[in-house]
Amino acid sequence: MADSPLCPFCCGTQGSGWLNGDHPTIQAGIVQREVCFSSLDVDNDYDYNTCTWKTTANVRNCGDFYVYQLKETPACVLRYCGGGIEVPSECENYYTFDQGDRYELSDEGGWYCDSSKKHTSKDWYGEGWYRFTGKAGNQMADAPMPPYVCGTGASGYIDGDHPTVQEGIVNRKVCFSYDDFEDDNPYNTCTWKTTANIRNCGDFYVYQLKETPDCVLRYCGKGI
């Protein structure tokens, strides 16, 4: 619940409800707090009163979240309002990579490409935000791989660290490994390259991906 004064007419109501006090620690158990409802003050040049109505609520810290024992609001139209970090749209609206042959250790074979031009992967829907899940793993591979794994010819991985939640959206280089026919090395770890935006959504990552720079190239997953 919001824990600082709100403007009236916020959060879909006229009287915006907020917790007038600190949220408790786990050790504090259930605590009682005053809840205020902000509204316009017509007697004061239409400024707003941060506590036109009030009630009380019990609050408990459950470790990863809070719960609130709430009463009916003391008048209408009043409402309890949420606070905290707004969930970025890309953490709710994304495509999913969930094919088992996309996993970095998969040797199922295939010549799939994350492109609309040819050999299009079954789970490629064009440029946009993607999440790795299911048999594809839980994030994009972030270390060089040999070619001919994860259902493609050239295997794509993030050349850099994954971000923290606090970093927001970061841009990283993506490399695609392939045979190096002109060298004694078994393969070139960055025959092709592109970039991708990444966000840490807390429990998972999402990736804003472009079509691969050639075919057959594919973004590969890792993890459990």
With contact defined as beta carbons under 8 Å apart, do 18 and 32 qualify? no
Q: Return the domain boundaries, the chain.
A: 15-80, 89-222
CB-based contacts of 42: which residues, under 8 Å, 6+ apart?
none
Give yes or no for residue 160 having a pLDDT over 90: yes
Give yes or no for residue 42 having a pLDDT over 60: no
Per residue in 50-71, pLDDT (tens digit) is: 899 999 999 999 987 899 999 9
State the pLDDT confidence band at 48, using cuts at 50, 70 and 90. confident
Burial of 9 (0-12, 13-18, 19+ CB in 10 A): middle
Is pTM beyond 0.75? Reply is: no
The kind and range of the H/E element at 196 are: strand 187-200
The kind and range of the H/E element at 166 are: none
